[in-house]
Amino acid sequence: MRRLNVALGERSYDIVIAPDILGQPGLLLPFLQTKRVAVVSNDIVAPLYLAALTEPLAQAGMEVTRVVLPDGERHKNWETLNTIFDAMLRDRCDRGTTVVALGGGVIGDMAGFASATYQRGVPFIQVPTTLLSQVDSSVGGKTGINHPLGKNMIGAFWQPRLVLADTVTLDSLPDRELSAGLAEVIKYGLIRDLPFFEWLEANMSKLLGRDPAALAYAIERSCRNKAEVVSCDERETAKEGGRALLNLGHTFGHAIETGMGYGQWLHGEAVAAGTVMAARLSQRLGWLDADDVRRVIALHEAARLPVRGAPLGAARYLDLMGHDKKVVAGRLRLVLLTRLGEAVTYSDAVRSDIESVIEACCDA
Ligand code: NAD
Ligand code: GLY
């Protein structure tokens, strides 16, 4: 069992990474304040894992509210969120009720936002079941939903009390989703951990082959990187760098997700194509050389991720990117690479350079 801590003072919590921990109520029970727990999942994950998680809790005397949402990014909205509140109110969940998210990043973000706002805030636990959610979205307390005009635009910071990553759940994850998770894994190497980037170059085939030791190592190292970043800049308020660096490729990627319609491109796929655009812009600024960009592209290709963007046209990209949360005082704040393993936030990119990069990185 691997255990690490996200150091946030009184909001600190552990991330536990291990196989077969879903059905071990002993890990969860110490964190439950009252006898009531609300487990939020979706119609893909619930048939696979909801009973394994909830039956031992019920046997231990817990009263369990089960909320099964429709699957998919296109349901990450107010309407679906409201069904969580409907179920919790129906079952008279009180302020001591712990909300448990069982699923990928969509469920984690929505259940987290529900727990941040239900009766002005109730305890929250993350049980992530995708690679992406185990390495990224379950850690750090960003919660929320999409708006038709912008991705993750409505939300709150709300830290979980515990993150339980059961690596066996990855066995049932479709290959395309595994690859999408690898985009966020590669991100940590690129922004702050060159030795990890090099490890990924050497071990990508093991990860794609779902080698348990390689996956557990990648999850732990990713979480360690994320925990360090979040501990230093919990609410992404640092003027430069800080938590914003975790958004490498995301401003371009969010434009793809919103522009193509939520769910068409997986989040990780959009981040992958967006990261290549960020690398190309970094090259234009003279920070990366051609071989660096080749390595960025090659590693994403090895992870079976797209390295070219969606054909939205540069004007549409820029319009959508203008709605991103990374816009500060009307200026696009991009995350770029000064070298492999080192990133900066940069607000001085010239519009024509961004347009050229988008055009070069997208099929017509
Ligand atoms: P997802 O939650 O849609 O899960 C991907 C698919 O896999 C879904 O169909 C899901 O039902 C299915 N699934 C989940 N676990 C499974 C399992 N064990 N076996 C079989 N199928 C399974 O997508 P995701 O990639 O996990 O998360 C993407 C979301 O996370 C996006 O909405 C993104 O904005 C968000 N995100 C949030 C943060 C954050 O810090 N809060 C960070 C990164 C991404
Ligand atoms: N995924 C970006 C963040 O957690 O800040």
Note the pLDDT tens digit of each residue in 226-276: 999 999 999 999 999 999 999 999 999 999 999 999 889 999 999 999 999
Q: Are residues 47 and 137 in the same domain?
A: yes
Q: Is 144 in the pocket of ligand 1 (CB under 6 A)?
A: no
Asked if 220 and 150 sit in the same domain, the reply is no
Q: Is residue 180 part of a domain?
A: no
For CA atoms 147, 149, 150, 154, the dihedral sign is: negative
Please check whether residue 97 lies inside any domain of the structure.
yes
Contact (Cβ atoms closer than 8 angstroms) between residue 55 and residue 191: no
In a domain, 189, yes or no: no
Q: 83-101, pLDDT tens digit by residue? A: 999 999 999 999 999 999 9
Residue 162 burial by Cβ neighbours in a 10 Å radius (0-12, 13-18, 19+): buried
350 and 262 within one domain: yes
pLDDT score for 325: 63
Q: Specify whether 285 is located in the same domain as 237.
A: yes
Task: Indicate which atom in ligand 2 lies nearest the CA of residue 184.
Answer: 1
Residue-wise burial string across 266-302, b where 16 or more C-beta atoms lie within 10 A, e elsewhere? bbbbbbbbbbbbbbbbbbbeebbeeebbebbbebbeb
Q: Does 167 share its domain with 231?
A: no
| Residue of minimum CA distance from atom 1 in ligand 2 | 246
Are 326 and 238 members of one domain?
A: yes
Q: Is the domain of 19 the same as that of 129?
A: yes
Q: What is the pTM of this model?
A: 0.96
> What pLDDT was estimated at residue 324?
64
Phi-psi region of 261 (alpha: psi -120 to 50; beta: other; left: phi over 0): left
**Ligand 1 neighbour 236 (Cβ under 6 A):** no
Is residue 61 situated within a structural domain?
Answer: yes
In a domain, 184, yes or no: no
Together in a domain, 141 and 212: no
Spacing, Cα 252 to ligand 1 middle (Å): 19
Question: 140 and 222: one domain?
Answer: no
- Residue 15 sits in a domain whose CATH number is 3.40.50.1970
333 C-beta closer than 6 A to ligand 2: no
Q: Say yes or no: 25 and 124 in one domain.
A: yes
Structural domain that includes position 208: 194-361
Catalytic residue chosen out of the listed positions 146, 247, 280, 326: 247
At 329 the pLDDT is: 62
Distance between CA atoms of 101 and 279, rounded to whole angstroms?
A: 34
Question: How far does the centroid of ligand 1 lie from the alpha carbon of residue 296, in Å?
Answer: 23
The residue contributing the CA closest to ligand 1 atom 21 is 173
Q: Does residue 228 carry a catalytic annotation?
A: no
Ligand 1 atom with the smallest distance to the CA of 151 is: 34
Instruction: Please indicate whether residue 243 is annotated as part of the active site.
Output: yes
Q: How many domains does the chain divide into?
A: 2
Q: What is the pLDDT of residue 363?
A: 81
- Are 154 and 203 in a shared domain? no
The mean pLDDT value of the chain amounts to 96
Is 250 among the residues known to form the active site? Answer: yes
Q: How far is it, in rounded angstroms, from Cα 125 to Cα 39?
A: 9
Q: Which two tokens stand for residue 191?
A: 């922004």
pLDDT the model gives residue 3 = 96
* Residue 124 resides in a domain: yes
- Intervals of the chain under pLDDT 50: none
Based on the fold, state whether residues 164 and 295 are members of the same structural domain: no
Q: List the CATH number of the domain containing 353.
A: 1.20.1090.10
